[in-house]
Chain A
Amino acid sequence: MSNATVTATPSASSFANWRQYIPYLGFVLIFVFFSATLFNKGFLDPNNLLNILRQTAMISIMTVGMTYVLAAGEIDLSIGMVAGLASLVVAVGMDWYGPIVGVLAGVAVGCIVGLINGVLTTRVGIPSFLTTLAMMGIARGTAMWMTQTKSVPILDDAYIWTFGGGSLGPVPVLVIWTIAVAVVGHVVLRRTIFGRRVLATGGSETAARYSGVDTRAIKMRVLIISSVLAALAGMLYAGRLHSGRFQLGEGDELSVIAAAVLGGTSLFGGTGSVVGSIVGSLMIGVINNGLLLMGLEYSQQLIARGAIIIVAVAISQSRKQ
C-alpha cells in the first residue's frame, strides 16, 4: 500500500509528471500575487479566507461532477440551471411537506435531469453539448414557471444549518460538504473500477468498448452524477441564502468548466483530477475575491476574470501539445 500511493498517480509517466503540478503552481502564484498586492486590504484575514471557501463550495462540488463528465469525454452545460431549479424545489417541497421531503425532492431533481440528459445522449445519440444546452433552458424555464419567478423563503433552522450556515467549531459546514464530495470523488475516480472506466471511456471510447466496458452506461452515470451534484450545490445555495431562487447558480457552468480545465482536466476526455478541480475552483474563488477587494467595479471584474481564465487555460492547454 505504501508503494501504491506513490505510483497510483494517473499519468504516471515520469516525463509527464512535472506537468501535473502546473495547476497547483498557478494557484500559488495567484494566491501570492493577491496576498502581496492586497496585504493591507484584509485578503489574508482568516475570515476572508473562510469566506472564499464558503463562496467556492458550490462551484467546487459542481466541478467534481464536471470532472467526471469531462473525463468521460462529455460535457454538461445544464448544471447551473439545475442548481437553481433544485434550490426552488427544495424550498417548495419543504414548505409543503417538511425538510426531509424537500431534500429528497431536491436530489430527485438531479437524478431526473441527469437521467434525461443521459438517455438523450447515450440512447438517442444527441451530443451531450446539445442535450445539456437544451436542458439548460428547460430547467431554467421550469424553475421560473414554478413560482412565477418569485423566490421561496426557507425557515427551517436545521436545514439552514446543514446546508449552508452551520459550522463545526471553526469549520463551516459548506467546507465539510466540499471536502466530503472531493474525497469520495477523488477515491472513486482514482481507485475504483468505475473511475477507471470513466477515464478509459473518455480516453478512447472504441478501446474501452472493445475492452468490454459498457461506455453508454458509464456516460449515463457521469451525467447523473453531475446533475445530482449540481442539485446538491443548489440546495447549498438555498441553505446559505435562506431561500430558493431560480437565479441561483446562473452562469456557474462556465466557472465550473473553467475550474476543471484550470485543474488539469482535458476538455477532450481521458484525463481528470478531482484534486486539481478543487484547486481550480479555489483559484476562481480567489480571483473573484481578490478582484472584489481591489475595488474593481462589477463590469471590470467580469473583464479581468475572463482575461485571467483565458490566460490560465491557455497555459494549461499548451502543456498538452
Chain B
Amino acid sequence: MQTTNAEAPQRPIAVRLTGVSKHFGGVRALDDVNLEVFGGEIHALLGENGAGKSTILKVLNGVYAPTAGTIEVNGAPLNEHTPDAAKRAGIGMIFQEMSLVPTLSVAQNIFLNNEMKDSLGLIDDASAAKRARTLFATLGVDIDPLALVGDLSAGQRQLTEIVKAISRNVKILILDEPTTALSGGEVEKLFTFLRRLKSEGVAILYVSHRMDEIIRIADRATILRDGHHVITAPMSALTLDKIIEYIVGRRSRGFSDVARINAIRGAPLLELRGVSGPRRPRSIDLTVYAGEVVGIAGLLGSGRSALARVLFGIDPKISGEILIKGAPVEIANPRDAIAHGLALVPEDRLRQGLVLEHSVEVNSSISILERLSNWIFVSPARAEAAADRQIEALRIKTSSRDAPARTLSGGNQQKVVIAKWLNTEPDVFILDEPTGGVDIGSKAEIITLVRDLAARGKAILVISSELSELLTVADRIIVMADGRIASETARSEFDDPVPGDDVGEQLQYAERQLSTLLQKAHTHV
C-alpha cells in the first residue's frame, strides 16, 4: 500500500529517514526503514516491542548512529549523530525512561544543559524559575518550578518532561508513551497542547501502545515489524483491526482470541474488611473467590498499587481485617504474605521481580531454595528440573534455562516472574500491570496464563491500566478512585446487549462502557 495523503505535497517534510538500518552485532534492530514526518502533523509510530520503534527514536535523537541510511531534517542532511547535534537540528524527545534528574528542581531540569545566564555568565535560576512558571501557566499545568523533581508524582514528572522539550524551541517533537503516567484529565490537556503545537507547524512523532489514543490524536501512522517498515497510511485509512493486523503480522493473537471462560466460583480465598493503608487505600471491602479473576481499574494515584502493597505487607495496614480462607491473618511484611499463600507480581518487574543478569533457572528458583536444597546445598538437579518444568508449563521462550533473564522478551520475563511465584504454590495471586511494556502477542499469552491459574482454583487480582486487558481477563471489575472502591461490576454487564459478530467490536463496546465508568468514578471524587 502506498502513502495516500493528498495534502502531502504542500507540506514541508520536517524529518526524513531514507534506508536507515541499525545493527547491533548480528542483530538487525532496523533494516532499511523509510520514514517521513511532515511539519504540522502528528505521526504515530507503531509496532510490537522489539519492532524497532525505540531504535528509530534513538537514531533520531542522536543516541545511536545508524549503520546505514540518511537522516534529513528540514531538507538538510544530519551527518553528526550525537544528542547535541539532534538538539541543534530542533529534535526534542520525551523519553520513556524519564530524562529528569530527581535531585534538581523542576526549573533546573527544564533548562538543564540550556541554562539561562545572568550578565556575569553565571546560571540565573531565578529567571529560569520565572520562565518555567510562565510556561506552566500557558499549559495550564500546576507544578511549582522550585519543587524537586524527586518529590513530584509520576504524572507531574511526565508533564515536566514534555514542558522541558517544548521549552527547547523544538520543531520535531518525539513522544514515547507520553501518557502512561497521566490521568485522564492530564491526557486531555496534553492532547489539546499537541494539537496547538501541530497547528503551529511542529512535526510530532508519537509512539504509544494505546491504540485509542493513536486513533484520536494521530494524522498518519507508520507501522514497523521486526525492524522492517510495514506501511505508512493516514489514520482515516486504518481501523483498529487493521492496525493490529499490520503490527502483529499474520499471526493474529489479539485479545479477542482469548476465550473467556466464566469462572466457577469456589470458596472465598481472600476477604478484605474495611482495609485502609497509610494514605491509600481507604476502607476497602472486597472478596475474591477461588477460580475467579478480579480486575482493578483506576487511574494513576487511585490507590490500585497501594492496595497491592498493603495486601503484601509492604505498606502497613492502618485499619481493617484481611482474611485468607476465612481465617483472619496479620501480614506485617512480604514474608508473612508469602507464608499465607499470597504472591505479588509487581509492576516494575525489571527492578522488583527479576535479577536480569541471572539465569531463568536462578530467577525462578529463588523463591523455593529451601525445597530444592539438601541441608544448605542447593541441589542442581532439582533446581534444573524445577526450572524446566516451569519453562514447559508456562511456555517460556528462552534458549535454555541458563540464559540470563535479560535476553528474554518482556512477555517471557513476566512469565519467569510468574513461574517464580507458582513455585511457592500460592492461593492468591496479585498481578500489577502484568502486561506493561509487553507486546500484543505476549499479552494474550499472559492473559491465557492468568485464566489458566484461575481455572486451577487460584484467586487472582489483576491491576491494569489497559481496559481491554481487564475486560479480557477478569470476571469482575472493580473501579478504584481516590483510594476507595467506586464501583464493582460483573464482566458480563459490560457486554453489548445486542452483540455484533465482530469480536473486536464487542471488546471495543465493553471498553467504552468501562471507560465511561472510570471517568465517572473520577469526576465524583
Contacts and interface: CB of A to CB of B under 8 A. Distances in A.
B148 A270 contact: no
Nearest to B101: A203
Contact of A4 (B63, B101, B108, B118): B118
A193 B117 CA distance: 9
Interface stretch (B119-127, B281-289, B384-392): B119-127
Interface stretch (B92-100, B402-410, B486-494): B92-100
A11 B147 CA distance: 8
Nearest to A205: B101
B125 A8 contact: yes
Interface residues of B, number: 35
A210 B63 contact: yes
A69 to B, nearest CB: 15
Contacts of B19: none
B139 interface: no
B146 interface: yes
Nearest to B62: A212
B245 interface: no
Nearest to B129: A7
Interface stretch (A13-21, A50-58, A307-315): A13-21
Contacts of A197: 113
Residue from B115, B122, B146 with most neighbouring chain A CB atoms (10 Å):
B122
A211 interface: yes
A200 interface: yes
A200 B126 contact: no
A204 interface: yes
Contact of B103 (A8, A199, A212): A199
A15 B113 contact: no
A178 interface: no
B84 to A, nearest CB: 5
B151 interface: yes
B269 to A, nearest CB: 35
A187 interface: yes
B486 to A, nearest CB: 31
A36 B102 CA distance: 42
B68 interface: no
Interface in B116-174: 118, 121-127, 129, 144, 146-148, 151
A212 B125 contact: no
B97 A206 contact: yes
Nearest to B84: A212
Interface string B393-411: 0000000000000000000
Contact of A200 (B61, B101, B121, B147): B101
Residue from A3, A197, A204, A271 with most neighbouring chain B CB atoms (10 Å):
A204
Nearest to B120: A191
A209 interface: yes
A7 B148 contact: no
A143 to B, nearest CB: 37
Contacts of A187: 122
A207 interface: yes
Contact of A7 (B103, B104, B109, B125): B125
Nearest to B125: A8
A185 interface: no
B105 interface: yes
B123 A196 contact: yes
A192 interface: yes
B104 A200 contact: yes
Interface in A53-85: none
A294 interface: no
B112 interface: yes
B314 to A, nearest CB: 15
B209 interface: no
A212 B80 CA distance: 14
B122 A212 contact: no
Nearest to A4: B126
Contact of A193 (B93, B103, B123, B146): B123
B83 interface: yes
Contacts of B122: 187, 191-192
Contact of A8 (B83, B113, B126): B126
A12 interface: yes
Contacts of A192: 121-123
B481 to A, nearest CB: 27
Interface string B438-481: 00000000000000000000000000000000000000000000
A199 B112 CA distance: 10
Contacts of A190: 123
B87 interface: yes
A213 interface: yes
B55 to A, nearest CB: 15
A16 B149 CA distance: 12
Contacts of B118: 1, 4
Nearest to A14: B146
Contacts of B125: 4, 7-8, 12
Contacts of A271: 103
Contacts of A266: 103
Contacts of B84: 212
Interface of B: 61, 63, 83-84, 87, 93, 95, 97-105, 108-109, 112-113, 115, 118, 121-127, 129, 144, 146-148, 151
21 contacts: A4-B126, A11-B105, A12-B105, A12-B148, A13-B105, A13-B146, A13-B147, A16-B151, A187-B122, A192-B122, A193-B113, A196-B104, A196-B108, A196-B115, A199-B101, A204-B101, A206-B99, A207-B112, A210-B63, A212-B113, A271-B103
Interface of A: 1, 3-4, 6-8, 11-16, 187, 190-193, 195-197, 199-200, 202-204, 206-213, 266, 269-271
Given A200-B101, A200-B113, A266-B103, 16 more contacts: A4-B118, A4-B124, A7-B129, A11-B148, A12-B148, A14-B146, A191-B122, A196-B108, A203-B102, A203-B103, A204-B102, A204-B103, A206-B97, A211-B112, A269-B103, A270-B104
